[in-house]
Amino acid sequence: MGYSGFRILKEALTGHKGWKPAWRKAEPQAEYDIIIIGGGGHGLAAAYYLASKFDQKRIAVLEKGWIGGGNIGRNTTIIRSNYMLHENEGFYEFSLKLWEGLEQDVNYNAMVSQRGILNLYHSDPQRDAYARRGNAMILNGADAKLLDQDGVRKLYPFLNFDNARFPIQGGLLQPRGGTVRHDAVAWGYARAADKRGVDIIENCEVTGFDIKDGTCTGVQTTRGRIGAKKVGVAVAGNSSRVMAMAGMHLPIESHVLQAFVSEGLKPIIPGVITYGAGHFYVSQSDKGGLVFGGDIDGYNSYAQRGNLPVVEDVCEGGMSLMPMIGKARLLRMWGGIMDMSMDGSPIIDKTHIEGLYFNGGWCYGGFKATPASGYSFAHLLATDTPHETAKAYRLDRFSRGLMIDEKGQGAQPNLH
């Protein structure tokens, strides 16, 4: 059943009796060509592209909980391609281009909204660094504009320009950046993959790998053994735990990242703003809530909830940037588990075990990567070669000293 304006009208006039479940409740088969572990954004996107672009058949996605229960439904919905390093910029720009055609591709309204993302700068050196980053973006085919203080004032007159400890001098704007409704991304990919024959199996936790003579032949799950020619792991915050079952120790630590939503307010923030003198960012949802967040919690955890010191830090950042936010009441908050890699960049690679592939290390920036990550992982699984935009995301880069340290801050989990 295709979704369209005509369909909505027809259903509205006929009592909404024609809607069908968006995807089947598939039962596990004994054997698949390809199994993807993890029904988050990346796993579902990989399955969809495997079936739609790489002509692969007999694919299953195994999800231990429900579709949308992980980070894909917990993030703050920001998409952008404002990276500086060549290894990252090409990949994230590829992702942004896929976002731009996503809704037509999967026939699902994901509310892709290119409302612009603005990174504020507060000093001359920071301005110079942003100018350099903007130029790197443009060289990679992305869009970027360096704004002075007047330029920022025109967009966001309510910001605390001069009275703050770190006055706002200007910002780097990426007009094509923005937000996408995160759970619609999961549902859209799930529905489109299911339509192409992918089995989406919820409540099916992988509890072990069948590895014989260095080859992975399938997985053990809470719903029995499932054989596969190839197994791809895309479990985000659970990467270390799952890969440990295959005897692998990853250069990844898991930390909690929190998100916050205020009560609904009249439209005030047209785009996404990130504060350059602290860790705070904010946008406004279509329902009116201010959606904001900041840094990861300071210690490792697999709990999908956060702690108060970060709440305080995020609120201080918000008050410093736009003091009127102090009048808004907080409606809800939650946490998700981040797979923090040691250089802050992801991994999409084969492992040393034949037939076992890994996708992870997305840190707190993997939502925007969902389409490109899924596409590149599908490319790797189908062809056994990396996609051209993901060639640098190798697992062995840590032992070869080829880190992709976008922030120039070394090991990301040890920032505190």
Ligand X SMILES: Cc1cc2nc3c(=O)[nH]c(=O)nc-3n(C[C@H](O)[C@H](O)[C@H](O)COP(=O)(O)OP(=O)(O)OC[C@H]3O[C@@H](n4cnc5c(N)ncnc54)[C@H](O)[C@@H]3O)c2cc1C
Would you tell me which residues interact with ligand X (CB under 6 A)?
37-43, 62-65, 69-72, 74-78, 205-206, 234-238, 242, 257-259, 293, 336, 362, 364-368
Q: Cβ 368 to ligand X, closest distance in Å?
A: 4
Say if CB 267 and CB 312 are below 8 A apart: no
- Give the nearer residue to ligand X in terms of CB position, either 108 or 169: 108
Q: Are strands 272-274 and 117-121 parallel, antiparallel or unpaired?
A: parallel
- Give the nearer residue to ligand X in terms of CB position, either 169 or 204: 204
- Give the nearer residue to ligand X in terms of CB position, either 169 or 358: 358
Q: Cβ 128 to ligand X, closest distance in Å?
A: 26
- Give the nearer residue to ligand X in terms of CB position, either 169 or 337: 337
Q: Cβ 338 to ligand X, closest distance in Å?
A: 6
Distance, in Å, from the CA atom of 113 to the CA atom of 77, rounded to the nearest integer, reads 10
Q: Cβ 337 to ligand X, closest distance in Å?
A: 7
Say if CB 293 and CB 310 are below 8 A apart: no
The residue among 198, 250, 258 whose CA lies nearest residue 43 is 198
- Give the nearer residue to ligand X in terms of CB position, either 74 or 181: 74
- Give the nearer residue to ligand X in terms of CB position, either 169 or 291: 291
Structure tokens, 218: 């399938």
Q: How far is CA 148 from CA 120, 279, 365, in A?
A: 10, 21, 27
Q: Cβ 219 to ligand X, closest distance in Å?
A: 8
Q: Cβ 278 to ligand X, closest distance in Å?
A: 17
- At a CB cut-off of 8 Å and minimum separation 6, what does 5 contact? none
Q: Cβ 409 to ligand X, closest distance in Å?
A: 18
- Give the nearer residue to ligand X in terms of CB position, either 34 or 127: 34
Q: Cβ 33 to ligand X, closest distance in Å?
A: 18
Distance, in Å, from the CA atom of 168 to the CA atom of 385, rounded to the nearest integer, reads 45
Structure tokens, 117: 């993302």
Distance, in Å, from the CA atom of 38 to the CA atom of 59, rounded to the nearest integer, reads 13
The secondary structure of 289-353 as a DSSP string is EEEEEEEEEEEE---S---HHHHHHHHHHHHHH-GGGGGSPEEEEEEEEEEEETTS--EEEE-SS
- Give the nearer residue to ligand X in terms of CB position, either 76 or 140: 76
The Cβ of residue 45 has, within 10 Å, a number of other Cβ atoms equal to: 33
- The residue number with the shortest CB distance to ligand X is 40
Distance, in Å, from the CA atom of 58 to the CA atom of 51, rounded to the nearest integer, reads 9
Say if CB 200 and CB 194 are below 8 A apart: yes
- Give the nearer residue to ligand X in terms of CB position, either 39 or 318: 39
How many angstroms separate the first and last alpha carbons of the chain?
50
Q: Cβ 297 to ligand X, closest distance in Å?
A: 11
- Give the nearer residue to ligand X in terms of CB position, either 41 or 386: 41
Crossing angle of the two packed helices 182-195 and 41-52, in degrees rounded to 10:
30
Q: Cβ 167 to ligand X, closest distance in Å?
A: 26
- At a CB cut-off of 8 Å and minimum separation 6, what does 324 contact? 158
